[in-house]
């Protein structure tokens, strides 16, 4: 039987680990964050030619620290997300991610000049924040399911998803958002709804439409717990986050309260189905193309749902609704200058507690299922490693999402020797890990006998 660091039940938020268990948790969490940092920091993108979204976050922060103004001139043409307001050129990006970048630019100030915008401090912070984000999810699984499940799930989350190839590569909104989600899940598990509401409020400053997940979480908790006060505990801090966003936008636009200008082209008709299909299976950005191990989590979703606590139900439904809002708010074209997928990351993070339960239930079905899951997880990590280590931001620029496959496009840019090594390592891992699973299970059976 697998060891448990914390109690795993529908009421596991009441579990109080002993001092010995707490020490184990701390050591495992420390090891995991050091592992992710050692992978994320060397593979991040540090040059100044990055995606428009990233530049629109980093350049204003550099300008504030080095020049004392939010006016980004003469860089107003660096990205289409700068707009003119009150005689200044400012960014339409959400302020939460800029706050995350601020400490990096303050610390890097001695090495960053006021006459040339630099993006590398933002990339350093992206790697650090992404490492902290996946570590919060690892710690959550650790307290719920024990070491073995936590390390398997943690490695897949950290290295087999867009957290490595996108969130840790440069300062997108996804790293800060997933960190806030991880902290909110910990707060919900412990029954600290006010604290969870504060995390949701910060999410509104990072990705405004994440506030839909706050509304769903508060509603489900109030309904299932027959406690309308849950809506207040989650909703009031979230509303404050919305208010702070509107105050910030008003400051930029010269008004008391405002919203920042964004361009959305809402899909219609069959385009709505295209958006869903694109998010899931488009070869260049499809979720299931790069992280197919999620399929085994979904296959046992019914059992996972029955075993999950109310806060897990709330978080899962919040993630599902957020994904619907995300995928239907703009037409699907795949984006550019990143490897793999990025838009589903927040929804997946909210779903982690239930999805991990599904994976545990699937693996409990025997050796064959464990080997299948090991193979899919290995493939997910291999695909992530190819992108994180070998991908250059210019490689996938403007490539069509339905006919280009990230690993193939990336590997074709390298020599035959590099391709052979990369593919060989992946094949070896796919062969070896199922064998390890088989022998581990055999050893466990013999030991119990």
Predicted confidence pLDDT, tens digits, the chain (449 residues): 333 333 344 445 445 566 667 788 899 999 999 999 999 999 999 998 899 999 999 999 999 999 999 999 999 999 999 999 988 999 999 999 999 999 999 999 999 999 899 999 999 999 999 999 999 999 999 999 999 999 999 999 999 999 999 999 999 999 999 999 999 999 999 999 999 999 999 999 999 999 999 999 999 999 999 999 999 999 999 999 999 999 999 999 988 888 998 877 888 888 899 999 999 999 999 999 999 999 999 999 999 999 999 999 999 999 999 999 999 988 888 888 899 999 999 999 999 999 999 999 999 988 889 999 999 999 999 999 999 999 987 655 678 899 999 999 999 999 999 999 999 999 998 888 777 766 665 544 444 44
Nearest to 140 by CA among 355, 365, 307: 355
Residue 354 to residue 232: CA distance in whole angstroms: 25
Other C-beta atoms closer than 10 Å to the C-beta of 442 total 11
d(CA 152, CA 141): 10
Q: How far apart are the C-alpha atoms of 391 and 420, rounded to whole Å?
A: 16
Which of 72, 107, 122 is where one domain is finished?
A: 122
208 lies in the same domain as 112 = no
Same domain, 228 and 334: yes
Mark whether 359 and 441 lie in a shared domain: yes
Answer for the pair 60, 90: CB distance below 8 angstroms, yes or no.
Answer: yes
The last residue of one of the domains, among 122, 152, 181, is 122
Whether residue 177 is found in the same domain as residue 88: no
**For residue 82, which phi and psi values (nearest 5 degrees)?**
-95, 135
Among residues 328, 344, 325, the alpha carbon closest in space to that of 287 is found at: 344
Classify residue 152: in a domain, yes or no.
Answer: yes
Token representation of residue 298: 């979904």
Query: Does residue 242 share a domain with residue 313?
Result: yes
In a domain, residue 1? The reply is no
Domain end position, chosen among 122, 141, 158: 122
Closest CA to 326 of 108, 163, 173, 141: 173
* Cα Rg of the chain, angstroms: 22
Residue 3: inside a domain: no
C-alpha–C-alpha distance, residues 257 and 311, integer Å? 33
Asked if the structure places residue 7 within a domain, the reply is: no
| Burial degree of 170 (CB within 10 A; 0-12, 13-18, 19+) | buried
137 and 68, same domain (yes or no): no
Tell whether 155 is covered by a domain.
yes
Count: domains in the chain: 2
Mark whether 178 and 307 lie in a shared domain.
Answer: yes
What whole-number distance in Å separates Cα of residue 389 and Cα of residue 339? 11
Say whether both 118 and 133 belong to one domain. no
Query: Any residues with CB less than 8 A from the CB of 269 and at least 6 apart, and which?
Result: none
> Which residue range forms the structural domain that includes residue 87?
52-122
Q: Tell me the C-alpha distance between 39 and 37, whole Å.
A: 5
Residue 442, phi then psi, degrees to nearest 5 = -60, -40
What CA–CA distance (Å, rounded) separates 89 from 70? 8
User: Residue 338 falls within a domain, yes or no?
Assistant: yes
Asked if residue 2 belongs to a domain, the reply is no
- Measured CA to CA, the distance from residue 141 to residue 189 in angstroms comes to 11
């Amino acid at each position: 039987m697998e060891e448990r660091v914390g109690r795993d039940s529908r009421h596991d938020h009441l579990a109080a680990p002993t001092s010995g268990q707490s020490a184990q948790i701390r050591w495992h969490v420390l090891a995991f964050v050091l592992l992710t940092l050692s992978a994320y920091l060397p593979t991040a993108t540090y040059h100044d030619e990055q995606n428009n979204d990233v530049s629109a976050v980093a350049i204003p922060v550099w300008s504030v620290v080095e020049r004392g103004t939010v006016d980004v001139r003469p860089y107003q043409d660096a990205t289409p997300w700068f707009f003119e307001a009150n005689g200044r050129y400012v960014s339409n990006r959400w302020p939460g991610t800029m706050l995350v970048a601020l400490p990096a630019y303050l610390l890097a100030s001695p090495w960053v000049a006021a006459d040339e915008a630099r993006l590398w401090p933002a990339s350093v912070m992206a790697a650090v924040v992404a490492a902290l984000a996946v570590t919060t999810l690892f710690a959550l699984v650790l307290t719920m399911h024990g070491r073995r499940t936590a390390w398997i799930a943690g490695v897949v989350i950290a290295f087999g998803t867009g957290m490595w190839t996108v969130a840790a590569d440069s300062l997108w909104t996804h790293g800060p958002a997933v960190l806030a989600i991880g902290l909110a899940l910990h707060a919900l598990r412990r029954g600290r709804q006010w604290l969870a509401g504060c995390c949701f409020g910060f999410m509104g400053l990072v990705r405004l439409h994440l506030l839909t997940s706050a509304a769903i979480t508060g509603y489900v908790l109030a309904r299932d717990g027959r406690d309308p006060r849950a809506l207040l505990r989650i909703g009031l801090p979230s509303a404050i986050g919305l208010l702070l966003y509107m105050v910030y936008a008003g400051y930029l636009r010269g008004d008391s309260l405002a919203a920042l200008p964004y361009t959305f082209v809402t899909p219609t008709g069959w385009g709505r189905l295209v958006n869903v299909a694109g998010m899931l299976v488009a070869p260049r950005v499809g979720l299931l193309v790069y992280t197919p191990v999620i399929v085994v989590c979904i296959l046992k979703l019914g059992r996972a749902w029955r075993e999950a606590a109310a806060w897990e139900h709330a978080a899962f439904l919040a993630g599902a609704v957020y994904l619907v809002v995300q995928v239907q708010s703009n037409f699907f074209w795949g984006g550019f200058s990143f490897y793999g997928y990025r838009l589903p990351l927040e929804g997946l993070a909210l779903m982690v507690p239930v999805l991990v339960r599904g994976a545990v239930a699937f693996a409990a079905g025997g050796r064959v299922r464990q080997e299948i899951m090991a193979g899919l997880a290995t493939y997910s990590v291999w695909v992530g490693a190819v992108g994180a280590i070998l991908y250059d931001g210019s490689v996938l620029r403007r490539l069509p999402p339905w006919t280009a496959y990230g690993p193939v496009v990336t590997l074709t840019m390298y020599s035959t020797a590099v391709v052979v090594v990369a593919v060989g390592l992946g094949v070896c891992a796919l062969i070896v890990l199922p064998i390890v699973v088989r022998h581990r299970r055999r050893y466990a059976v013999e030991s119990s006998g």
